[in-house]
Structure 1
Amino acid sequence: MGAVHPLLTDTTPLPEGLDARLRDQLTFVIEVDRLKTILRQSPLAAADRRENDAEHSWHLALMVVLLAEHSDEPIDVGHTVKLVLVHDLVEIYAGDTPLYDAEAAHTQQAREEAAADRLFGLLPPDQAREVRALWDEFEARSTPEARFAKAMDRLQPLLLNWMARGGTWKSPGVTADTVRSRKAVIGDASTALWEAGRTLIDEGERRGWSRPSLS
């Protein structure tokens, strides 16, 4: 995690007299407004700019609602929505780690663990435990819901890169096989969605939107 910045509410403190639990909850709600400032590498389909983490999280939540029927295992949609809404909050302090940045991946876990400790610790203890458990579940992919949430996290930028005619598929050192390898986790949750994803990757390679596989 980088430099520790003051909380947003330190600059404009909440009024005195608020219920202590509500104060902690509102402090957290205000602090996570920072998510809107964290830029990802994925380009938007509808505008010439990169998406931010808040836009990404909203898109994943909608995808869960619409695509849950394609899960290979029954999932609790509401719980899965919670997972995708929580999973990137740590990037407020840890920053985004691009999928194809192998160097940044070495420190990702430590940065995100430290960020989770600080950020979720702003909540009342019971909610801090609940939100941390959701984040841990997503990271571990130990449940059908977490596996489907992870699949959405990999499918969404795949769709955006398709619309950008390559996008981050053109990153240095990345080939079509690299993309297939990093996106294969989609298949852990949905055979149908991974088949669709592979079709897009294969066609993107055929059109020259990614570097050909080395083999």
Structure 2
Amino acid sequence: MSADGGRPQIGLDRLKGILDFIQAAEGLKDTLRSGTTSRGRRESTAEHTWRLCLMVMMFGRELSGCDQHRLLKLCIVHDLGEAISGDVPAIHQGLDDGRAARERADLSALCAPLPADLSAEILDLWDEYSAAASPEAIFAKGFDKLETMLQHTIGDNPAGFDYDFNLTYGLQHTDRHPLLREIRSLVDEATRKRAEDQGPPGS
């Protein structure tokens, strides 16, 4: 028992394994995505994940029948494997090139230092997110697409940015719940406004 009143002390090997994993996951801070911030800097996957979690938190009152703690876990885990192999731009994600298997293998490698129970939990969460069958995974997938689209509406994007792609991106996931559809309608409206402000390609 610990000296603070009853909780068992964490074993040294477990402690070191968790810290090694946390240090390896730091690579997500330097994993850059194709999207840009409002000031024109490329965003990192870690920044995307942070804002995805913030979105989920802000809509907490509307997520009835959903385990919000598990939902946040899914959001935190969903792109962790990118700390090893990097991000695949949204425009290339429809290709059936074995990406999902590579991402899971990368995540498994990232989790190698962890105690077996924590490694299994993270991989189970990733599998749940990938399958997008549970209520929590449906929301995680939908909000993930919406965060990406929102970034495109505010980013200092290059000339000729393809806003039409934004209007079709992730429809199969954002159409799975009324709340996601309602948010999507506002994001699509903002996308069309950005496209109009940009003018035709090459202008």
Q: TM-score, normalised by structure 1?
A: 0.77
Q: Name the CA distance, whole Å, in 2 between partners of 1:92 and 1:137.
A: 20
Asked whether the 8 Å contact 1:40–1:50 carries over to 2, the reply is yes
Change (3 A) 1:102 1:179: same
Residue number among 169, 182, 185 corresponding to 1:182 in the alignment: 169
Asked whether the 8 Å contact 2:75–2:140 carries over to 1, the reply is yes
* 1:44 pairs with 2:44: no
Q: Name the CA distance, whole Å, in 1 between partners of 2:93 and 2:20.
A: 34
* 1:63 pairs with 2:55: yes
User: Which residue is 1:11 aligned to?
Assistant: none
User: Which residue is 1:28 aligned to?
Assistant: 21
Q: Name the CA distance, whole Å, in 2 between partners of 1:164 and 1:181.
A: 18
User: Which residue is 2:190 aligned to?
Assistant: 200
Unmatched tracts of structure 1, length 5 or more: 1-17
Q: Name the CA distance, whole Å, in 2 between partners of 1:81 and 1:210.
A: 39
Asked whether the 8 Å contact 1:138–1:146 carries over to 2, the reply is yes
Asked whether the 8 Å contact 2:167–2:188 carries over to 1, the reply is yes
* 1:74 pairs with 2:65: yes
- Aligned-pair identity in percent equals 28
Superposed, 1:120-199 pairs within 5 Å as 120-164=111-155, 167=157, 170=160, 174=162, 176=164, 178-184=165-171, 185-189=173-177, 190-199=180-189
Following TM superposition, by how much is the alpha carbon of 1:157 offset from its aligned partner in structure 2, in angstroms? 2.1
Per-residue Cα deviation, 1:61-100 (whole angstroms, up to 9, x for no partner): 11100023445x6322211111111111100112100000
Per-residue Cα deviation, 1:112-144 (whole angstroms, up to 9, x for no partner): 122022112321111111111111111111111
Change (3 A) 1:195 1:117: same
Following TM superposition, by how much is the alpha carbon of 1:210 offset from its aligned partner in structure 2, in angstroms? 7.4
| Letter matched to residue 204 of structure 1 | R
Aligned-pair Cα RMSD in Å: 2.5
Unmatched tracts of structure 2, length 5 or more: 1-10
Change (3 A) 1:169 1:130: farther
Following TM superposition, by how much is the alpha carbon of 1:186 offset from its aligned partner in structure 2, in angstroms? 1.7
Change (3 A) 1:140 1:169: farther
Change (3 A) 1:115 1:163: same
Name the count of aligned residue pairs: 188
Residue number among 24, 45, 50 corresponding to 1:53 in the alignment: 45
Asked whether the 8 Å contact 1:40–1:53 carries over to 2, the reply is yes
**Structure 1 stretch displaced more, 197-206 or 136-145:** 197-206
Asked whether the 8 Å contact 2:40–2:155 carries over to 1, the reply is no
SS of the counterpart of 2:27?
A: helix
Q: Name the CA distance, whole Å, in 1 between partners of 2:131 and 2:158.
A: 25
